[in-house]
Amino acid sequence: MSAYYQIATIQTFQIDFNLQKPMNTITFNKPYMTGKETHYMYKAVESGKISGNGIYTQKCQRLFEEKFSFRKTLLTTSCTDALEMAAILLDIQPDDEVIVPSFTFVSTANAFVLHGAKIVFADSETDTPNIDADKIEALITSKTKAIVPVHYAGMACDMKKIMEIATRHGIFVVEDAAQAIDSYHNGQALGSIGHLAAFSFHETKNIISGEGGMLVINDERFSQRAEIIWEKGTNRAAFFRGDVNKYGWVDKGSSFLPSDIIAAFLYAQLENLEIIQTQRKLLWDNYLKNLKSLEIEGFINLPRVPKYATNNAHMFYITVSNLDVRTRLIAHLKANRIMAVFHYLSLHKSPFYAEKHDGRDLTQSDIFEETIIRLPLFFELSLGELKKVTDSINDFFLERRVN
């Protein structure tokens, strides 16, 4: 069995285990309810409009625009949909090239592949899974249409360098900010820097709506068309604002907007953003403190927050020395009823894209593929449970210390 399929098989098993957890297990994730979600959902129903672009959709969009200085936002049914909207807005054509990190979720690349783009995979940095900005320029050709940096774990890529490269070559930047709500680069909110950006509100994110996402439009050139694409290729939104006296089919598009019931759920979460973030950061800091000695002794590496970035506590991950250690550590945690997971599989080696990749070795992406472990992190995780996780990790390495 190839290493790719071996890792994929293990990952599938972990997902199944996560869905069928035994009693007293510390889960990897648990969705948090603030208490207002069902009330706002009821209010949305009571308003008489629960399809897309209702009262709560507009409330959420306005909140994002005001709080994070996004020029324009559109809620979507997923981050994947937001990325697909970006591909349409950029008019991606067959053989256009899009630079994407190999170490990311498939949606980052697939959104552009759907429109015929050739994906040019970039390697990660040595000390973070983020795209290595120093290696981007060498990948640019006359066919390059966009760069899609992914802010892994909510920590900023080197956006100053990436935007300088993009400006110099006249290409677009789409921030994959799926994990990056309430995180910053040199004081500027992630998602507000590139021409476009995509966020996720999947149940594993800091702020959730079960499934859900958002497209951010920072370049005014795309604002009007984005709304049309969002509304199935029609100017329906403009009609309901009174900007036009009728609406019709004016462009390509799809049904990318979510039900207002989903937006109502999301709005309750957004009202509690600071409370949620404060608790998650407390947990993150305790992980860092409890595991620091293992890093000092050389057993693990802890996350690095670049000097230009902030930490939104989306996840806490560690890296170990190799795949064998990771496999045994995950099994050890599982035996102690602690669910830890890993991701991603390097996309340049995937069954779908391996033959299309140009053959370059992407060493750092492959290292992270085999060495990252994500630890449980969610709002209701207690400090006692967190200590059980870190104690279990310390116990795993105890024998190595003795020997």
- State mean pLDDT over 151-170: 98
Residues 6 or more apart whose Cβ sits within 8 Å of residue 392: 332, 333, 336, 338
Verify that 220 and 298 share a domain, yes or no. no
282-328: per-residue pLDDT in tens?
Answer: 999 999 999 999 999 999 999 999 999 999 999 999 999 999 999 99
Contact 200, 207 (CB under 8 A): no
Which backbone phi and psi does 173 adopt, to 5 degrees? -120, 125
User: 229, 249, 271 — which closes off a domain?
Assistant: 271
Q: Residue 63: pLDDT band by 50, 70, 90 thresholds?
A: very high
Verify that 140 and 279 share a domain, yes or no. no
pLDDT at 21 over 80: no
- State mean pLDDT over 175-200: 98
| Average pLDDT of the chain, as a whole number | 93
Q: Give residue 14's pLDDT.
A: 42
- What is the spatial distance between Cα 195 and Cα 72, in angstroms, rounded to a whole number? 11
Q: Residue 11: pLDDT band by 50, 70, 90 thresholds?
A: very low
Structural domain range at position 348: 3-29+273-402
Verify that 172 and 132 share a domain, yes or no. yes
- State mean pLDDT over 147-175: 98
Q: Give residue 242's pLDDT.
A: 77
- What is the spatial distance between Cα 182 and Cα 303, in angstroms, rounded to a whole number? 18
Q: Give residue 349's pLDDT.
A: 97
Q: Give residue 16's pLDDT.
A: 42
Q: Residue 246: pLDDT band by 50, 70, 90 thresholds?
A: confident
- What is the spatial distance between Cα 155 and Cα 135, in angstroms, rounded to a whole number? 19
Q: Give residue 22's pLDDT.
A: 56
Verify that 366 and 306 share a domain, yes or no. yes
- State mean pLDDT over 225-251: 87
Q: Give residue 23's pLDDT.
A: 65
Q: Give residue 186's pLDDT.
A: 98
Verify that 88 and 235 share a domain, yes or no. yes
pLDDT at 6 over 50: no
Verify that 193 and 277 share a domain, yes or no. no
- What is the spatial distance between Cα 232 and Cα 249, in angstroms, rounded to a whole number? 8
CATH code of the domain containing 64: 3.40.640.10
CATH code of the domain containing 283: 3.90.1150.10
- State mean pLDDT over 175-197: 98
User: 241, 271, 301 — which closes off a domain?
Assistant: 271
Contact 370, 322 (CB under 8 A): yes
Verify that 204 and 263 share a domain, yes or no. yes
Verify that 290 and 320 share a domain, yes or no. yes
Tally of structural domains, the chain: 2
pLDDT at 133 over 90: yes
pLDDT at 59 over 80: yes
Verify that 259 and 289 share a domain, yes or no. no
Q: Give residue 257's pLDDT.
A: 96
pLDDT at 402 over 80: no
Q: Is 254 helix (H, G, I), strand (E, B) or coil?
A: coil
Verify that 194 and 168 share a domain, yes or no. yes
- Residue position matching structure tokens 């598009």: 253
User: 271, 286, 307 — which closes off a domain?
Assistant: 271
pLDDT at 403 over 90: no
Q: Is 106 helix (H, G, I), strand (E, B) or coil?
A: helix
pLDDT at 54 over 90: yes
pLDDT at 1 over 70: no
Note the pTM of the prediction, 2 decimals. Answer: 0.92
Verify that 248 and 386 share a domain, yes or no. no
Q: Give residue 306's pLDDT.
A: 97
Verify that 89 and 161 share a domain, yes or no. yes
